[in-house]
Amino acid sequence: MTTQKGPIIIITGTPGTGKSTHAQLLANESPIPLRHINVGDWVKEKGLYENYDDKWQSYTVDEDKLLDELEPIVAEGGIILDWHTCDVYPERWPDLVVVLRCDHTLLWERLEKRGYPLEKIQENNEAEIMQVVLDEARSSYPDLPVVELQSEGPDQLESNVARIIEWIQAWKNDHADEES
Ligand SMILES: Nc1ncnc2c1ncn2[C@@H]1O[C@H](COP(=O)(O)OP(=O)(O)O)[C@@H](O)[C@H]1O
């Protein structure tokens, strides 16, 4: 979806790959103001879920409620959608999809530090090895650029954000006529 205010960028990846870290830095450094929406936090804060699963320590999202809540905000443009899944959004929403990847041993350490239960760490680790989120992104947005970026250290964080900023700059140039 193209809008006047700014692009819609999805940053997705297995939990712990660095979505929020990237999204925050990107929002700080972007040449166009971007609003960072941590969708998981939104789901909790706004009660956009059906129930809470104690075993997996996760919420079952009410997708209709979530999309209703997001729709008017996304319509304004200039948004980063930060979430570990990306197949719930309408295909017309995003302009760019970024999938963060991480070595599974490092990911395991990050999730352990987060205090996730063992089964949840194992499930996420397997998902990362099987590139579940990347496949989901490619099949959900076949006509869009789906960019796979490694997120294992600070150098990669910086170069990934710089690369996305280059893309934003190009988007800005392409939409210069629409600016009021
Ligand atoms: N590229 C990176 N370089 C160094 N540390 C990173 C990188 N990406 C993520 N991390 C660290 O990994 C942890 C999880 O990152 P976070 O952004 O919360 O992941 P997510 O939002 O995908 O769950 C944090 O402690 C963060 O500082």
Model pLDDT for residues 129-164, shown as the tens digit of each residue = 999 999 999 999 999 999 999 999 999 999 999 999
Residue partners of 32: CB distance under 8 A and separation at least 6: 5, 6, 7, 78, 168, 171, 172
pTM > 0.90: yes
Residue nearest to atom 17 of ligand 1 (CA): 18
Give strand ranges (E) for the chain.
8-13, 35-38, 49-53, 58-61, 79-82, 96-101, 146-150
What confidence score (pLDDT) does residue 1 get?
54
Residue 21 assigned as binding residue: yes
Residue 14 pLDDT level (bands cut at 50, 70, 90): very high
Residue 57 pLDDT level (bands cut at 50, 70, 90): confident
Question: Cα(18) to centroid of ligand 1, in Å?
Answer: 3
